[in-house]
Structure 1
Amino acid sequence: MLDMAVAFENWNKVMERADMLYQCVQSIHEERQEYQSKGIPTPYIHTERPLVYYYGFSHLMRGIAHQKMGEADQARAYIDQYADLGWMEDLDEVGMQVVQEFRHKAQVNRYALEIEAGQVQLLEEFVNFLLEHPEEGLAGLKVITQAAVRHRWQIDRVLQVFEDQIQGDSKKMNSSNNDDMYHFCYQRALYEQWMGRAQDAVEFILQAIRLANRLGMDRYFIRCTALLESLREEATGEQIGRYRVMLEEMK
């Protein structure tokens, strides 16, 4: 339910579901503590992942929701929560791995939050972090490109650094990166439009349209076609031809 709410960008629903998850996890944790304090064997409750994961995930989702709603201070507070989950008792090797994974997510999301807020002085540091962690590259570029559009930064040098990686990611599309690639292509189209490179913008919006169709997200598709129509007069005949063929294939 949380994943669905995120996909539809319903941030109030994300908060509601994340709160429900947290309350469930907290109840299980408190019950375990109560049994342990009384020296009574703890009842077994099957969970697909260690309990610490659900603590981290509920904080992560609440942090993302606050960030998307423009509530940066609240988002920072939740990032601090899932950055430090080592307080939980009886963490085994798998649990400690979860703690490390959320610590890494917190580092990524702190950068994203501050970059989105316009902290351009952190851009080079974030780029270096992404180069050290290429698995975060596409999601990080999405953040950087969106910030560049919002704050009017020229990031051609940054995009050049990641050009090979972007092309590689586009050839290895799967369900795990379709959404990030869509958002990158859409924001990149806006960036190229702002930079006065209309035909490059059209190329990226055509990629975004394909991805929107693959994701089955109508509102993404509508957003893309609106942008393309605003660029139609500056597009080449060949680009418009591909656009028409694409629309026909989607019927």
Structure 2
Amino acid sequence: MEHAPTIRSTIETELKQRGYTFSSFSKISGINRGTFSTMLNSNPPKPISVRQMDLITKALGYPEGWLYELYIDECFHEGKGHWKRIKPFLLRCVELGRKECIQRVLSRLTEDLSYVSTVFEFAEELHEGGRENEAVPFYECVIENERYYHSERLAISQYRLFRIQLGTNAEENLKLTILFSPFLDRLPEAYQLDALLQMANIYSSLHKWSQTIFCSQKLLELTKRIYEYRVAQDNINHEDIEPYSSERSLVVYYGQALLMQAFSLQKQELYQEAKKIVLRYADLSWFKGLDEVGQREVEKLKMYATANGYVLDLLIGDKSNLEKYILLLEENEKEILPGILTLLEVANKQSFNIDNILKRFSGYIQKFSENEDALYMDDYCNFNLQLAIYQFNFNDYTAGINTVLKNIKLATMVNNSSVFAQSIILFEKYKNFATECQYNELTIHKENFGKNFNFAF
């Protein structure tokens, strides 16, 4: 019966076949002759470090990672995990993308569940070092092996995966939100803040207004509770309030919670209720502990309040501030897409012509399709939908159908079933104006969307 090769037997075979002695190989590898000898000949043999393994590999002319499959046993001498060897080995596996080695190490390591906390700490180190995607298998390992369902470690791992996996696919983002939501309340408060903001944004992108308001209200309540506690502590200590250890300034969460509530009410045509909320974030200069970033956020929210006040006036039929709104958009380029989207919605509801405004912003409109940010893409999809309705309202049927087809293709790319369905309905409404070529294009988009969702039209 043949024995499986070990890392030492493999190295010894290579040395013999090439005629190397310990002395001669020491010179080309840079490993001390005595050290090299004890790694192969002493009883028990001296452990081989990851660095030494890489030096041996390089000296023998093999690609990086040549001995990694065999090195796994070196990490588990006598069946016990040795973290001082495992950690540097995992780091090298991360650098080289050796996912199969990572999985094998984690599988053996978690035979002893006391190592789950160590794996979690390693994942957090990778995350803090900017290697979020590389940390995924380690967070997944924690989730699979954590014994205590209510542990903070498990909740943070679920939160990290939720954030890392968010992308441009609106439906997938919703699935991730639903999977993560049971762990929300087990997170440290600093993480809850950003999780709630992310969840509110995702629900808003899918026009789920009641869920958006629920998350926004919960975010507002949490922010107020944290803020009031910190201000009370500050009054006791007679010191300036320190920045909170969250991803963003506290005033960001406070302001965004109010802004999203107002937006959701606006979308439900509850304009007077929305106006009341807008007034609450129009001036947040009273907020204590504002750093430079926080002060900039207060100014930004002030601008949003002014803009949204104009929008609500337009929606109830008051056009007296229309030009002021246009000028405000021109001064804030990032607000042009949502701003024109709003103007299209108003024009479609109230049947007034905004051709001159669309022409005024035509240069910006051409750039909209180049931005692939998930939330931006949602605005762009809805922009195309409203633009098509506007074009149909003014009898520009060819342009309207082309815009709808463009939007169906975009909805397919980002898997937004809501926009896709609305666009299909709009096409069907004006199908008598479509050419054979446009019908053929629609068929192709339907097939592509059906493949993504595994159903046929």
TM-score for both structures, normalised by structure 1 = 0.91
Deviation of the 1:37 alpha carbon? 2.4
Q: 1:102 to 1:43 in 2, by over 3 A?
A: closer
CA distance in 2, matches of 1:93, 1:125: 28
Q: Which residue of 1 aligns with 2:211?
A: 13
Q: 1:28 to 1:182 in 2, by over 3 A?
A: same
CA distance in 1, matches of 2:265, 2:334: 24
Q: Can you list the C-alpha shifts for 1:50-99, whole angstroms capped at 9, x where unaligned?
A: 11111111111211122122221221121111121110123221221121
State the AA in 1 paired with 2:272.
Answer: D
Q: Which residue of 1 aligns with 2:95?
A: none
CA distance in 2, matches of 1:223, 1:44: 45
Deviation of the 1:174 alpha carbon? 3.7
In the alignment, structure 1 segments of 5+ residues that lack a partner are: none
Q: Which residue of 2 aligns with 1:131?
A: 330
Deviation of the 1:45 alpha carbon? 5.2
State the AA in 1 paired with 2:254.
Answer: Y
Q: Which residue of 2 aligns with 1:111?
A: 310
User: Which of residues 213, 221, 244 is equivalent to 1:23?
Assistant: 221
SS of the equivalent of 1:153 reads coil
Is the contact between residue 116 and residue 143 of structure 1 (CA under 8 Å) also seen in structure 2?
Answer: no
Identical aligned pairs, as a percentage?
Answer: 27
Deviation of the 1:245 alpha carbon? 2.3
Is the contact between residue 220 and residue 253 of structure 2 (CA under 8 Å) also seen in structure 1?
Answer: yes
Q: Which residue of 2 aligns with 1:248?
A: 447
CA distance in 2, matches of 1:76, 1:52: 20
Q: 1:91 to 1:171 in 2, by over 3 A?
A: closer
Is the contact between residue 115 and residue 143 of structure 1 (CA under 8 Å) also seen in structure 2?
Answer: no
CA distance in 1, matches of 2:282, 2:300: 9
CA distance in 1, matches of 2:242, 2:297: 23
Q: 1:157 to 1:55 in 2, by over 3 A?
A: same
Q: Which residue of 2 aligns with 1:227?
A: 426
Q: 1:20 to 1:230 in 2, by over 3 A?
A: same
CA distance in 1, matches of 2:421, 2:385: 12
Q: Can you list the C-alpha shifts for 1:180-229, whole angstroms capped at 9, x where unaligned?
A: 11111111111111111111110111121122223322121111111101
Q: Which moved more, 1:3-12 or 1:20-29?
A: 3-12
Deviation of the 1:40 alpha carbon? 7.2
Deviation of the 1:166 alpha carbon? 0.8
Q: Which residue of 2 aligns with 1:196?
A: 395
Count of residue pairs the alignment pairs up: 251
SS of the equivalent of 1:73 reads helix
User: Which of residues 237, 245, 254 is equivalent to 1:39?
Assistant: 237
SS of the equivalent of 1:120 reads coil
Q: 1:168 to 1:43 in 2, by over 3 A?
A: closer
Are positions 1:73 and 2:272 aligned together?
A: yes
Q: 1:137 to 1:43 in 2, by over 3 A?
A: closer
In the alignment, structure 2 segments of 5+ residues that lack a partner are: 1-198, 452-457
Is the contact between residue 64 and residue 75 of structure 1 (CA under 8 Å) also seen in structure 2?
Answer: yes
State the AA in 2 paired with 1:13.
Answer: Q
Q: Which moved more, 1:30-39 or 1:197-206?
A: 30-39
State the AA in 2 paired with 1:51.
Answer: L
Deviation of the 1:118 alpha carbon? 2.3
Higher gyration radius (CA): 2
CA distance in 2, matches of 1:161, 1:44: 42
